[in-house]
Chains A and B, each alone.
Chain A
């Protein structure tokens, strides 16, 4: 069996960075922020590369829709094992609905049978592009995967849900979104970084797709959440219990002995 896998990747502010908001209400200050591949996409990519290494896939295409700087993210994807990369270049912020539509167009062109993608991107926390894409394509979907086994045109996917670990069989073609515990992504080795420079990275203009990407959500404002008031250091367990009792947070009658 040989699959063509598409892995969408997004360039985001690195997970450990505490963002700073611009004073104009427009959102986080990106000017000096450290950028990286969205961690969930990295996990999705790792899974795709492993499927290829197991001989279950023969082509992994990493796709990013974003600014020219996302080429750097795609080079990382190539160093991590993607075979090819495609940048759909745009300076605009594109909403998930339009992202899903562009991805659907690329999938139709490529004839891919599997999309592996992150369950969310850590910037806007929308958690929606994967199921949207599956909806556009009319494909089956499995979300928040912590295990994937592919055989006979079916993916058996273990999904992290509010009720525990749910296992689903999804016929291919399908869209599967990755959760954190799916795998531990590798680091790009120096030889692979060198090799990645020679792998194909195509850039296409967003306009070439003829897809309406006008935003449907008007962004009114981005602001800081309310600050929490500074707290209190308590010295002992008894002190803690007394304070929680005072605040009516633990049942009356529970008292330090």
Chain B
């Protein structure tokens, strides 16, 4: 079997999710190539080449691929598809835009966000906001998969695989990049972080979120997450929303502060190893699910916790 993994990257860095997708690819079995498309992406390709188990990195370094236009990258994948049995990518925002487009062009039914590999054609995925596991067998000759990175471990580093330059494809530009309102942060990436501290509506304001959640996250070297209510209210950016329609995380430790635990939020964090919930309502759904539930007012408990760590 031959497998092509589309790399995700941002700010000149390879996304941590890619080496987890390589693990999923290894479970499927076969020669694993990685495709890096972007502008000035040589360093990203070099980083991808050092993921253990990678056979070769294809690098399409061209202004046309800057900002990752979904249409052009799907075209590139389709042009490479004849050489591969499986095309896969992390189920981040890029993979979710590019892979289904390529799948349709290849007349393949994508298997979205797999969480386990049961065999070369058999995969598990979560449906109904994580409340059921569906096992499917993909019957198309070629497979297109997106992978929920939080469900696989990092493949680790190995000797550098060769990097091969790829000529860009001509073709119409469809969507074009205008701007990015990026959220810069020195904290670990949410999807792959070991510890996540999340805040909900109870934080009351952007200032409340900044004063209670961020210092605790800093103390723990944790990524910051949030409920939809906290994002809707503007306490924090959209890119940290955890849940069915946000990011899916499975850290060793998830600390939910002032979050009720709606089905859609649980969908994004239920597979965390240990869940701590701090809530003044002992009956909140998240308190039933938590490994450690602290019934307390977050405005008192969080400063105390941060101070004592």
A-to-B contact residues, CB < 8 Å: 13, 15-16, 18-19, 21, 27-28, 95-97, 100, 119-120, 122-136, 139-144, 146, 156, 159-171, 174, 179-181, 215-225, 228-229, 231-238, 240-241, 243-244, 247, 249-250, 254-257
B180 adjacent to A163 (CB under 8 Å): yes
B131 adjacent to A19 (CB under 8 Å): yes
Indicate whether A135 sits within 8 Å of B105 (C-beta atoms), given known contacts A125-B112, A167-B180, A225-B126: yes
Interface of A: prevailing SS: mixed
B132 adjacent to A232 (CB under 8 Å): no
Q: Is the CB of B263 closer than 8 A to any CB of chain A?
A: yes
| Cα of A127 to Cα of B92 in the assembled complex, Å | 11
Q: Chain B residues with Cβ under 8 A from A126's Cβ?
A: 110, 112
Indicate whether A231 sits within 8 Å of B132 (C-beta atoms), given known contacts A181-B238, A217-B111: no
Q: State the Cβ distance, A105 to closest chain B Cβ, in Å.
A: 14
Q: State the Cβ distance, A237 to closest chain B Cβ, in Å.
A: 5
B109 adjacent to A216 (CB under 8 Å): yes
Indicate whether A120 sits within 8 Å of B103 (C-beta atoms), given known contacts A218-B137, A224-B133, A238-B308: no
1/0 per position for B172-185, CB-CB distance to A under 8 A?
A: 00111111111100
| Cα of A240 to Cα of B304 in the assembled complex, Å | 11
Q: Chain B residues with Cβ under 8 A from A231's Cβ?
A: 275, 288-293
| Cα of A243 to Cα of B111 in the assembled complex, Å | 40
Contact of A123 among B127, B282, B292 (CB under 8 A): B127
A240 adjacent to B100 (CB under 8 Å): no
1/0 per position for B273-302, CB-CB distance to A under 8 A?
A: 011100000100001111111111000010
Q: Is the CB of B232 closer than 8 A to any CB of chain A?
A: yes
Q: State the Cβ distance, A22 to closest chain B Cβ, in Å.
A: 10
Q: Is the CB of B64 closer than 8 A to any CB of chain A?
A: no
| Cα of A18 to Cα of B127 in the assembled complex, Å | 12
A164 adjacent to B182 (CB under 8 Å): yes
B101 adjacent to A134 (CB under 8 Å): yes
Q: State the Cβ distance, A154 to closest chain B Cβ, in Å.
A: 9
Q: Chain A residues with Cβ under 8 A from B140's Cβ?
A: 216
Q: Counting chain B CB atoms within 10 Å of each CB, which of A132, A139, A179, A222 scores highest?
A: A132
Contact of A180 among B125, B177, B245 (CB under 8 A): B245
Q: State the Cβ distance, A142 to closest chain B Cβ, in Å.
A: 6
| Cα of A123 to Cα of B126 in the assembled complex, Å | 10
A125 adjacent to B137 (CB under 8 Å): no
Q: Is the CB of B70 closer than 8 A to any CB of chain A?
A: yes
Q: Counting chain A CB atoms within 10 Å of each CB, which of B105, B126, B175, B180 scores highest?
A: B175
1/0 per position for B146-163, CB-CB distance to A under 8 A?
A: 000000000000000000
Contact of A256 among B128, B178, B244, B308 (CB under 8 A): B308
B102 adjacent to A128 (CB under 8 Å): no
A162 adjacent to B93 (CB under 8 Å): yes
1/0 per position for B249-263, CB-CB distance to A under 8 A?
A: 000110000000001
B175 adjacent to A217 (CB under 8 Å): no
Q: Is the CB of B39 closer than 8 A to any CB of chain A?
A: no
Q: Chain B residues with Cβ under 8 A from A142's Cβ?
A: 175
B104 adjacent to A141 (CB under 8 Å): no
A141 adjacent to B71 (CB under 8 Å): yes
Indicate whether A237 sits within 8 Å of B294 (C-beta atoms), given known contacts A18-B263, A162-B92, A220-B122: yes
Indicate whether A128 sits within 8 Å of B245 (C-beta atoms), given known contacts A168-B178, A225-B133: no
| Cα of A146 to Cα of B247 in the assembled complex, Å | 16
Q: Chain B residues with Cβ under 8 A from A130's Cβ?
A: 100
Contact of A131 among B97, B177, B290, B291 (CB under 8 A): B97
Contact of B10 among A146, A162, A243 (CB under 8 A): A162
Q: Is the CB of B138 closer than 8 A to any CB of chain A?
A: yes
Q: Is the CB of B203 closer than 8 A to any CB of chain A?
A: no
| Cα of A18 to Cα of B309 in the assembled complex, Å | 37
Q: Is the CB of B166 closer than 8 A to any CB of chain A?
A: no
A181 adjacent to B232 (CB under 8 Å): yes
Contact of B131 among A18, A119, A136 (CB under 8 A): A18
